[in-house]
Amino acid sequence: MSDETDNSGLWYREDFGDSVSYLNRVEKVYFSGKSKFQNIDIVELGFLGKTLFLDSKIQSAQIDEHIYHEALVHPALLLHPEPKKVLIIGGGEGATLREVLKYKDLDKAVMVDIDGELVEYCKEYMPEWSDGAYDDPRAELIIGDAKEYIEKDGEKFDVIISDLTEPLEEGPSVFLFTREFYNKIYERLNNHGIFVAQSGSAFTGIAQFMATNYKTLGKVFPEVIPYQIFIFSFSMMWGFNLALKGLNFKNELKKVNKRLTDKAINLKHLDYNLIESMTVLSKELKKELEKGIISTDDSPFFWTL
C-alpha cells in the first residue's frame, strides 16, 4: 500500500483484452492498495490528470469525469417532471451525488455503496469529485449491499441511478443487473419513475454488456431508451440505458429544454441538443442491442472481452 509519493517515470498499463494495452505516464501515486472488494489505484497521469482505477480498469479521470457523470445523471433527472427523491447505487467517487444535488428543489439523495473503504479513499484523495456533496443535508450515505437495501427497504424514489462497475465474474455487482433485481427496482420507483444504468461500451462488437442490460430492462420496464456519449479516457463510446415507468420518453423530451432553463442547472458539457442526440444510434449498434440476452439470478451475465 502506498501513500502520496512522487513517481515520475512510471507507466500505468491497462490491458484491454489479450491484444491491446494502454500506457499512461504516472506523475504521482496518491494511493495504491486493496479494499475488501477490489484493488484501488488513485494516480496522477500525465495527460488524463488524477485518475481512479479499480482492479486495474479505468473508472474516472479528471479530464472528462464531468462528461460521464453529466451523461449518467441529467437525462434522467430532466426527463422526470419533478424529481424529489433520488437513489444512487454505487458511485463511490461521489461525483454522481454531486451532479444529483445540483437540483435545488430535490428533497433527498440516498447513495448506497458496498465499498466503504473506496468511498473514504476517494474523499481523501479525490475531493474534487464529490465537491462537498457529502456535507449537503439532503445527502444520505449508506455503506452496504445495494441488493439487500433494495429488497428490504420500502422507501420509494422518483429516480434511481445505477453507477456500478461491470458485472465481472469475481466482482461485487453481478446480481445487480439481473431481471430479478430490476423487478425490485421497478417496485421501488414511484408511479412516474425513471431508472438509468451505466452500461459499458457502446462500441460495435464489444457492446454485449450494454445489449444484455437493454434486453433485461426491457423485460421489466415498458420503455427502455439506450444512449451513448464518447468518453476520451475510456477511448470509446460509452453506453447507458434509461428505463421509464409511467412516463413517455418523447413527451418528456419535449420539456427538457424548458426544465434545464427553469432549474438553472449548471452543466459543463451537456445541453438540450446533445441530450437528444445521445439517443441517436448507428444501425450496427441497434442490431447489436437486439442480440442481447436476458440476465437472471440463475443465469447471470458476466462481462468478458
Which residue type occupies 37? F
Backbone angles phi, psi at 270, to 5 degrees: -85, 145
Please tell me the predicted confidence (pLDDT) of residue 2.
44
Which class is 5-60 in CATH?
A: mainly beta
Contacts of 6 by beta carbon, 8 Å cutoff, 6+ apart? 28
Instruction: State the angle between helix axes of 283-290 and 208-218 in degrees (0 to 180), rounded to the nearest 10.
Output: 60
Say if CB 151 and CB 187 are below 8 A apart: no
In 20-167, which ranges are continuous DSSP H helix? 65-79, 95-100, 116-125, 127-130, 146-152
Closest CA to 224 of 186, 267, 184, 188: 186
Q: CB atoms < 10 A from the CB of 205, how many?
A: 9
User: Under a CB-based contact definition with an 8 Å cutoff, are residues 31 and 44 in contact?
Assistant: no
- State how far the Cα of 30 lies from the Cα of 42, in Å rounded to an integer: 5
Bridge partners (DSSP) of residue 189 are: 157
pLDDT tens per residue across span 237-260:
999 999 999 999 999 999 999 999
The residues annotated as belonging to the active site are 163
- In this prediction, residue 197 carries a pLDDT of 98
In contact, 115 and 172? CB cutoff 8 Å: yes
Distance between CA 248 and CA 192 in Å, rounded? Answer: 10
Answer yes or no: are the C-beta atoms of 53 and 45 closer than 8 Å.
no
259, containing H or E segment: helix 256-263
Residue type, 44: E
- Under 8 Å between Cβ of 130 and 123: yes
How many other C-beta atoms lie within 10 A of the C-beta of residue 161?
A: 29
Q: Which residue has the cell 512522487?
A: 6
Q: Write out pLDDT tens, residues 94-124.
A: 999 999 999 999 999 999 999 999 999 999 9
| Same fold for the pair 5-60 and 65-290 | no
Sorted by where each begins, the domain ranges of the chain are 5-60, 65-290
Structure confidence at residue 171 (pLDDT): 74
Q: Which three cell numbers stand for residue 103?
A: 437540483
Q: Which is nearest to 158 in space by CA: 100, 239, 226, 216?
A: 100
Write out residues in the chain with pLDDT < 70, as ranges: 1-8, 305
In terms of CATH, what superfamily is 65-290?
Answer: Vaccinia Virus protein VP39 (3.40.50.150)
Long-range residue pairs from 272-279, CB within 8 A, at least 24 positions apart, any chain: 274/229, 275/74, 275/75, 275/78, 278/71, 278/75, 278/227, 278/228, 278/229, 279/225, 279/226, 279/227
Q: Which residues pair with 242 in a beta bridge?
A: 196, 225
- Listed residue (174, 194, 235, 242) closest to 48, CA to CA: 235
